[in-house]
Structure 1
Amino acid sequence: MHFLLLGATGRVGQRVLAQALQDGHDVTAIVRNVEKVALRSDRLTLLQGDACSAVDLASAMTGVDTVVSCLGTDGGTVLTEATPLLIGAMRASGVSRVVTVGTAGILQSREHPGLLRFEAPDTRRSSTRAAEEHRQAWALLAASGLRWTVVCPTYLPDGEPLGQFRAEREFLPDGGTSISVGDTAAFTYRVAVDGTYVGCRVGLAY
């Protein structure tokens, strides 16, 4: 399988990249600074570029089977800028499968039907800016006609994969409070490989 990976220098993206190469897949990664990627492989193509550039995204789509985006909000509007460009590049290249990493804030609230978790009156978020970015990116994917999945981890501390966690469509597993970077990356990679959870958000927690 040939992946296009966005966010390869981030906490989750680095682990997805390592796992894909370890399993013998080909990976093209768009990064702003190639020196920030420690891994090197004959199966890895590093393209210096910008995920918010339509030209860079289009040039990276050659031969790609699946897109994995581990982009964060980067304190700004990266997601809402990059997502429509990514959708356009995928459509133009005939690539239909995309897996992205979002946030548990955009899952459905159990206590407040009709609201997302970050919209609920009992949210503990001091700011909803990042969640709103993720919500808009998810809405764009949901309307795109692509085979999309948004992986939505709750609180995300650094840590190795334990392999024992819960995943639930559209909701955060009841009582879940954290999920490690390692397990989030492992789940994201697995979903990209096996093509499951198409057309939904997936809450992750221990």
Structure 2
Amino acid sequence: MHFLLLGASGRTGQHVVSELLSQGHTAVALVRTCSSLAARPGLTIVTGSVLSKSDIHNALYAVPSLLPSAAIITLNTVRKSDSPFAAQVSPPRFLADSCANVCEVLEQAGIRRVVVMSTAGAGDSWARLPLLSKAFMSWTNVKYALEDHGLVDKEIRETKMDWTLVRPVRLEFDDQKPTKTKRDVRTLGSKGDGMSLTDSVGVASVAKFMIKVAVKGLFIQSAVVVAD
């Protein structure tokens, strides 16, 4: 399959790129700067903004005679540092507006499949989130990302897309794990039934799951919480 990728230069997105190419798929990635993602066979890199419909359109048609079958979005909001108290850098509605733009451009091209990385706590999974996790998200600047994910969750349901929202519990990155893992995740339904404070999931595992969902057409017009 051929994919359109947004967020490919991020810590989860880079795993999506590597996993896609290792499975023999091809992809075109829209990135802010071409230096943020290493070129490799099977990957076409287009420079532009996810907030620009024309840039998304250019990326969609970047490979002659080869139109993506689906889009995978691994965007997230940006803070000045990894500290949960750091100031927000991304503009309000960054995730919601980016997703809306992608869905509009895809729909105009006759493409309906989109898989979006969300977060546990968004939408109807908030009620099952552990109390301490709720406190952390409410009292830190992580709340702005959660609010934006909530807007994506609400607005994508009003589109005609065959969407899937993948909601990871607490993400663990490569430097937080002794080895890079790509285990099969546990799926906890839309609401995150059985979520606990100790749950986490590696970015490589999330990337592998998102590709599986996109390729096999799983969880159409549904959200799903995932954990290792």
Q: TM-score, normalised by structure 1?
A: 0.89
Alignment gaps of 5+ in structure 2: 62-66, 79-87, 175-179
Mapped pair 1:103 → 2:119: yes
Seq. identity, %: 28
Aligned to 1:154: 169
Partner SS state of residue 172, structure 2: coil
Structure 1 residues 164 and 69, CA gap change in structure 2 (3 angstroms): closer
Aligned to 1:44: 43
Match of 1:163 among 183, 190, 198: 183
Letter in 2 for 1:168: L
Question: Shift of residue 105 of structure 1?
Answer: 1.2
Question: Shift of residue 175 of structure 1?
Answer: 3.6
Letter in 1 for 2:201: I
Partner Cα separation in structure 2 for residue 37 and residue 131 of structure 1: 26
Question: Shift of residue 199 of structure 1?
Answer: 0.8
Q: Is the 8 A contact 2:103 2:159 kept in 1?
A: yes
Structure 1 residues 122 and 59, CA gap change in structure 2 (3 angstroms): closer
Q: Is the 8 A contact 1:169 1:200 kept in 2?
A: no
Mapped pair 1:8 → 2:24: no
When the two chains are superposed, the root-mean-square deviation of aligned CA atoms in Å is 2.1
Question: Shift of residue 58 of structure 1?
Answer: 1.3
Structure 1 residues 190 and 55, CA gap change in structure 2 (3 angstroms): same
Letter in 2 for 1:155: R
Structure 1 residues 121 and 182, CA gap change in structure 2 (3 angstroms): closer
Partner SS state of residue 105, structure 2: helix
Letter in 2 for 1:71: L
Question: Shift of residue 86 of structure 1?
Answer: 1.1
Partner Cα separation in structure 2 for residue 86 and residue 65 of structure 1: 13
Q: Is the 8 A contact 1:2 1:64 kept in 2?
A: yes
Question: Shift of residue 130 of structure 1?
Answer: 1.0
Partner Cα separation in structure 2 for residue 150 and residue 53 of structure 1: 22
Query: Could you list the runs of 4 or more consecutive aligned residues of structure 1 that deviate by over 6 angstroms after TM superposition?
Result: none
Aligned to 2:201: 179
Question: Shift of residue 31 of structure 1?
Answer: 0.5
Aligned to 2:17: 17
Equivalent residues, number? 200
Q: Is the 8 A contact 2:71 2:115 kept in 1?
A: yes
Question: Shift of residue 80 of structure 1?
Answer: 2.1
Partner Cα separation in structure 2 for residue 186 and residue 91 of structure 1: 25
Aligned to 1:66: 70
Question: Shift of residue 91 of structure 1?
Answer: 1.2
Match of 2:106 among 90, 93, 101: 90
Partner Cα separation in structure 2 for residue 175 and residue 153 of structure 1: 11
Structure 1 residues 21 and 122, CA gap change in structure 2 (3 angstroms): closer
Partner Cα separation in structure 1 for residue 10 and residue 225 of structure 2: 20
